[in-house]
Structure 1
């Protein structure tokens, strides 16, 4: 019986080559899309789950209650505090990341970032040791543990114990351990782990018991004892605030534990985070594209049924029961799904590198050839067969044999016809929603690219400073300004806009009235405003000599917070650092500029001269539209100056506009994915519409012939055939427009600065969809309308 079903299925497959091609292609594209997106979601949701104690590992996070924002980092005093005051913890493992260091082993030099840690990290996370002892490897200052890859990178072998790596030509580190390379799916991709005892040797000013400022690069991980519920430790952390920060901080600060399995979705030291919204979008896209392909199968199967009406009637007349017919049609669906599955795997192999590059996810062919993906593909084949085959099988097997033998056609019941139209409406609704979303996301990205940031980001090259001694910086400035390609140079803590910023609490006191303002501190020299093009509104710029008299510049928002409306009236006013007696005098007011990405509002901002905190050089080129050749000349001049001042350090640079653009990588990837999904959905839906138009034209061959004999023109016949297919498209436009508006309005809430949703966007999308539908059906409509009526009537 099974052999008979397969034989008939193969015969039906090759008899309807066009129908089979459309179904196989549509299902293959849908299944490939689903498989690839499943791989992405599986990869992003598997981070850190391989850790043996992952259910007991938590990160201590700092919540600013007033801002309603949680930071992944914490105070450097937290590690010591928890060791003393959290008996529920089995292990406390602090980790601090640092970057921009020149690491040298003999003649080999590399610019690296690494982390400071202690042996507690090796008892918290799983490491496979090649050499060294996890109990002693980081016990002493000046020690380092390497991964296999980095041992081979620096020494050409994993036999690296006792060998030396020099940091910034100032500190020697002895290799005391080598571990296996980390898994790809980890939030701890650390190739170099340096003992915490080394921190003060590299940074003498480091305070390991600080409670008045924190850095997201300093994080504390806790391995709780078995049976301890993290939710019950809230009181413990309130005690930490009271003991180390004071009762008044309870209203502003809160510490909480976040599961290890959740830190991949927030800031982590690995540098890669997953966007939960994007993962949900990917899952929805995969399901929708597959459903559109299945709807094609259903529509084409039912549309093609009139050709098989007599076959079904004869089978029933000679004794075939409905169950056997259902198995027969499911076998045909299964055969088509099988061929589609084979093609989908080929497409997945070809498209995987493109997807991995677009999403910046380390997926390889090995990730596709896993038991999990094989099982998912098998389940997908079965589900697709059932989704695509059950309704046609039930519909076709339920036809009355007398009716089909008498009429050689399938009865056109209102319900059946509306079902087919309903599926077309769903297909084009999904496609139209995707078109609207893609158009609006692209407009928002254009807004990001072209928004007035309040400063000039063009033609600025940023370079990290390994040494900020005044004499070094002056020499570097002299060397750089000799180049005809360089207009200005500024030394600062960071750029005018940056993701990492220094937050400072300030107070404005006017008699008994005290206004507290949490501000961003921009520390830059006297060239800062000119280099970044920040405009003054009142007062005078800062001088490099303003290091002793605490003169500062403030932005307009800062003035608004302290209740001053006239910028000139602010000149000479005092603002106090925190709640202390140390104050600064407002020397000038600058125009508002975006210190953060456009996701966030503009913060109150101060600009101050603080040479000890200059860690970056901003280099403004002479020509904002410089040619590639002049840029290369400028880079060569910058590297030459750098090498003259910092001969023992490697030169690295970045363009400010490219750095700022990285803040919108998630949105850019979302846009590209939705655009790709839109193309796929439109392709599948259009193929299905083309198939339906083909079968409709075949069904109405005699009607068209009669109409032409009676004098109907080609255009009237084309209009008649096209009209039926435009109805579901128009209905799809009416349904999709409010849905797309709602989804995009929700998405735009993620941004403090955003575009407005214009009505013409939905009109443009609707016109585009109508044009695609007309182009899809017009070929078959025109072909049917131009057929000789004599042949049309004879064919019946």
Structure 2
């Protein structure tokens, strides 16, 4: 029987090749997009699943709430001191616990040195992350100073085919570190990509005993804390007691600040880290991982739904053509179940053919998609044993969803009506087809509007006044290390950099943009004892404001003529008032009506005292993605060396200035590769990373859904025009012009498209509003765009059906009247 169903399905495809081709093409597009996104979803679901006990492993997360702006912050960075107290209070619940801290450094062997990422790590990192040793012994690993572990690929990078065990790499020209073990490379789906693991005692030899061993509770310096529990109940028990843990152990001098800012701790499951990386304060506002994935899933579902709707619509149109077939089958004794089975099998057959066509498209698109989403997908993943069942389920679901409504509609039609259905089409059928067409174009128009909105927001971020001149500005990482001051002559390097006509100015800072520096509680004398405002602040050199060409609104900037403008190169005195510059935005947060009102006002940070000497316009290193609370509000100045150099060059002499910078660097730091970037490129990358994923996805989704809807509309126009051939002949005989008939035929198709565009407006508005809410500065979206998109979609629909309508209207009336 199944063979007979299959033969009938193939005959039906052969009988109506245009309809079948359009169905297959739309399903191919839907399945192709869905397969790509399904691979992406599987990649996300598999992150960290290579770890045997991933479900009982967690990362400690720090929470804060800035009181005056009600801005929530979460970060993976934890104070070093928590882990000791956790081990002390919950030793019976925690099986393993470890600190890790990422970084980069130069590693040399002989006369050659290359930069590499690294992680300082506790010994328990080995069992927590299931690191598999291929050489060396896990026992005692990362306990001793000057020892390290390498992954296989990193060992091959530095030692080739040599045995790396016992070999030595020199860290930043400071200390020799011995390789004591080699572990397998972690999978691409791991959220922590280990390359080198160095023992924390090595870091304490280099940076002092407080390295990853600080005692402050409100301190964030890059340390992450990972915990593996004995079972899920233990993790649940500890997390529910974290508030009591803080109250028990937090020192008295931190309690006030913690209460003011709603300080807290929580556990983040290992399988949640990919979608919520929390890589700095405010990361949920800047991370594009989650919105891009959710957006891609939504777009793929919409495309697949549009494909299924297209299939349904075209199948319903064919009811009048296949009515006699159904009537005959029912007259010969076929039941509803057999009719349903026949059409579902036909739907599944077409879906399977679409899958065969979609697979090579997916294979071609996979590298582009992987690069676009920044995930490690390979063509082999498409044929992996754990993915094939998912793809099969997708095909079955698509086939059933596409075929079930036509199958039910045809199967419940009485035999006598089915035999007559070739002569007429019911009003309900026409309404159903119009409704389905409206749904297709509603989704298409909404996606087009969303794509335009994302483009406008991207352009707005690029053109936004960010409070400084970001062009012709170069940032150089000097790699200055306070623990290794004699590595090079810092002052001489800066002086030599200035000795070129193409270099306008050179300044330095503690942090590299877009980093917002430290975040601490600042106070005014009039504040209540427990009152403060959390502010991002950064240390800069004299000339920083001038180098960035920031706008001075009141007062003055830092000058070497005033000793109190600068904190010393050493301990900061608590009995001296130092000068600082603030932004106008911060002045408003502290209650000053004008920039002038903030001048000479005293501020304090813990026991340190400052005075405002100048107010500059608010600046945003991350463009319109920064809230006021996240933007740097205070600039402190110091004469001590700082790591990051900011060099403004003359545009016409940029190439000569770059050559000069490279030459000076090679002279002062001959064994260290230079790390220099144009700030404008960094700025553009920030915006691109945040918006490009959704922008490209929305654009592609809108194009694909319009294509699918257009194919469906063309098929409907072809069939409907054919059905109305005799009507057209009668109208022409009675004197109707070709133009009047074209307008009559086309209007039937324009009506559902016009309704679709109107329905798309609120749907698009909701999606655009949700997207815009993730930015502190938002682009305008003029109402005129809704009207323009509506006209464009209607024009596209008219272009799709016009030729077919014109051909029907131009048919010879004699032939039209004879048409059956």
TM value normalised by structure 1:
0.94
Of 463, 487, 495, the residue aligned with 1:478 is 495
Q: Which residues of structure 1 form unaligned runs of 5+?
A: none
User: Which residue of the partner structure matches residue 64 of structure 1?
Assistant: 64
User: Which residue of the partner structure matches residue 342 of structure 1?
Assistant: 356
- Distance in structure 1 (CA, Å) of the matches to 2:554 and 2:581: 10
Q: Secondary structure at 2:364's aligned position in 1? A: helix
Of 100, 103, 111, the residue aligned with 1:95 is 100
* Aligned CA distance change for structure 1 residues 713 and 77 (closer, same or farther; 3 Å): same
Q: Cα deviations across residues 415-461 of structure 1 (Å, max 9, x unaligned)?
A: 22211111111111111111111111111111111100001111212
- Distance in structure 1 (CA, Å) of the matches to 2:310 and 2:736: 32
- Residue range with higher mean Cα deviation, 85-94 or 291-300: 85-94
User: Which residue of the partner structure matches residue 451 of structure 2?
Assistant: 438
Does the alignment pair 1:725 with 2:749? yes
Trace 1:631-780 onto structure 2 (pairs within 5 A).
631-664=654-687, 665-780=689-804
Q: Secondary structure at 1:173's aligned position in 2? A: strand
Q: Secondary structure at 2:173's aligned position in 1? A: coil
* Aligned CA distance change for structure 1 residues 164 and 269 (closer, same or farther; 3 Å): farther
Q: Secondary structure at 2:774's aligned position in 1? A: coil
* Aligned CA distance change for structure 1 residues 298 and 158 (closer, same or farther; 3 Å): farther
- Residue range with higher mean Cα deviation, 148-157 or 105-114: 105-114
Q: Secondary structure at 2:624's aligned position in 1? A: coil
Does the alignment pair 1:304 with 2:306? no
Trace 1:174-573 onto structure 2 (pairs within 5 A).
174-204=178-208, 206-207=210-211, 208-211=213-216, 213-215=218-220, 217-226=222-231, 227-228=233-234, 229=236, 230-239=238-247, 241-243=249-251, 246-251=254-259, 252=261, 253-267=263-277, 275-405=289-419, 407=420, 409=422, 411-467=424-480, 469=485, 472-495=489-512, 497-510=513-526, 516-544=532-560, 546-548=566-568, 550-573=578-601
* Aligned CA distance change for structure 1 residues 23 and 754 (closer, same or farther; 3 Å): same
Q: CA deviation at 1:485?
A: 3.2
Kept in 2: contact 1:506–1:576 (CA 8 A): yes
Q: Secondary structure at 1:115's aligned position in 2? A: strand
Q: CA deviation at 1:9?
A: 1.6
Q: Secondary structure at 1:508's aligned position in 2? A: coil
Q: Secondary structure at 2:145's aligned position in 1? A: coil
Q: Secondary structure at 2:115's aligned position in 1? A: strand
- Distance in structure 2 (CA, Å) of the matches to 1:500 and 1:97: 19
Kept in 2: contact 1:71–1:216 (CA 8 A): no
Of 118, 125, 131, the residue aligned with 1:114 is 118
Q: CA deviation at 1:344?
A: 1.2
Of 148, 152, 174, the residue aligned with 1:148 is 152
User: Which residue of the partner structure matches residue 11 of structure 1?
Assistant: 11
Q: Secondary structure at 2:250's aligned position in 1? A: helix
* Aligned CA distance change for structure 1 residues 309 and 510 (closer, same or farther; 3 Å): closer
Q: Cα deviations across residues 374-424 of structure 1 (Å, max 9, x unaligned)?
A: 11221122112211112222223344443454x561542222221111111
Q: CA deviation at 1:621?
A: 1.9
Q: CA deviation at 1:359?
A: 1.2
Q: Secondary structure at 2:274's aligned position in 1? A: helix
Kept in 2: contact 1:128–1:179 (CA 8 A): yes
* Aligned CA distance change for structure 1 residues 349 and 28 (closer, same or farther; 3 Å): same
Kept in 1: contact 2:26–2:307 (CA 8 A): yes
Kept in 1: contact 2:311–2:402 (CA 8 A): yes
Kept in 2: contact 1:82–1:92 (CA 8 A): no
- Residue range with higher mean Cα deviation, 469-478 or 459-468: 469-478
Trace 1:79-94 onto structure 2 (pairs within 5 A).
79-87=83-91, 88-94=93-99
- Distance in structure 2 (CA, Å) of the matches to 1:450 and 1:315: 67
* Aligned CA distance change for structure 1 residues 736 and 33 (closer, same or farther; 3 Å): same
Q: CA deviation at 1:127?
A: 0.9
Aligned length, in residue pairs: 786
User: Which residue of the partner structure matches residue 636 of structure 2?
Assistant: 608
* Aligned CA distance change for structure 1 residues 185 and 113 (closer, same or farther; 3 Å): same
- Distance in structure 2 (CA, Å) of the matches to 1:213 and 1:484: 46
- Residue range with higher mean Cα deviation, 676-685 or 748-757: 748-757
- Distance in structure 1 (CA, Å) of the matches to 2:714 and 2:191: 48
- Distance in structure 1 (CA, Å) of the matches to 2:599 and 2:633: 15
- Distance in structure 2 (CA, Å) of the matches to 1:523 and 1:313: 84
Q: Secondary structure at 1:762's aligned position in 2? A: helix
- Distance in structure 2 (CA, Å) of the matches to 1:108 and 1:602: 45
- Residue range with higher mean Cα deviation, 557-566 or 455-464: 557-566
Say what the alpha-carbon RMSD is for the aligned residues.
2.5
Q: Secondary structure at 1:553's aligned position in 2? A: strand
Kept in 2: contact 1:264–1:274 (CA 8 A): no
Q: Secondary structure at 1:162's aligned position in 2? A: coil
* Aligned CA distance change for structure 1 residues 510 and 325 (closer, same or farther; 3 Å): closer
Q: CA deviation at 1:479?
A: 2.6
Kept in 2: contact 1:285–1:677 (CA 8 A): yes
* Aligned CA distance change for structure 1 residues 547 and 666 (closer, same or farther; 3 Å): closer
Q: Secondary structure at 2:634's aligned position in 1? A: strand
- Distance in structure 2 (CA, Å) of the matches to 1:184 and 1:274: 19
Q: CA deviation at 1:234?
A: 2.1
Kept in 1: contact 2:517–2:536 (CA 8 A): yes
- Distance in structure 2 (CA, Å) of the matches to 1:44 and 1:233: 30
Q: Secondary structure at 1:371's aligned position in 2? A: coil
Kept in 2: contact 1:536–1:590 (CA 8 A): yes
Q: Which residues of structure 2 form unaligned runs of 5+?
A: 569-576
Q: Cα deviations across residues 509-550 of structure 1 (Å, max 9, x unaligned)?
A: 149899623222221111211211111122222135533462
Kept in 2: contact 1:313–1:404 (CA 8 A): yes
* Aligned CA distance change for structure 1 residues 122 and 85 (closer, same or farther; 3 Å): same
* Aligned CA distance change for structure 1 residues 84 and 515 (closer, same or farther; 3 Å): closer
* Aligned CA distance change for structure 1 residues 734 and 479 (closer, same or farther; 3 Å): same
Kept in 2: contact 1:76–1:218 (CA 8 A): yes
Q: CA deviation at 1:650?
A: 1.3
Q: Secondary structure at 2:628's aligned position in 1? A: coil
- Residue range with higher mean Cα deviation, 608-617 or 534-543: 608-617
* Aligned CA distance change for structure 1 residues 790 and 485 (closer, same or farther; 3 Å): farther
Kept in 1: contact 2:466–2:623 (CA 8 A): no
Q: CA deviation at 1:107?
A: 4.1
Q: Secondary structure at 2:765's aligned position in 1? A: helix
- Distance in structure 1 (CA, Å) of the matches to 2:296 and 2:635: 42
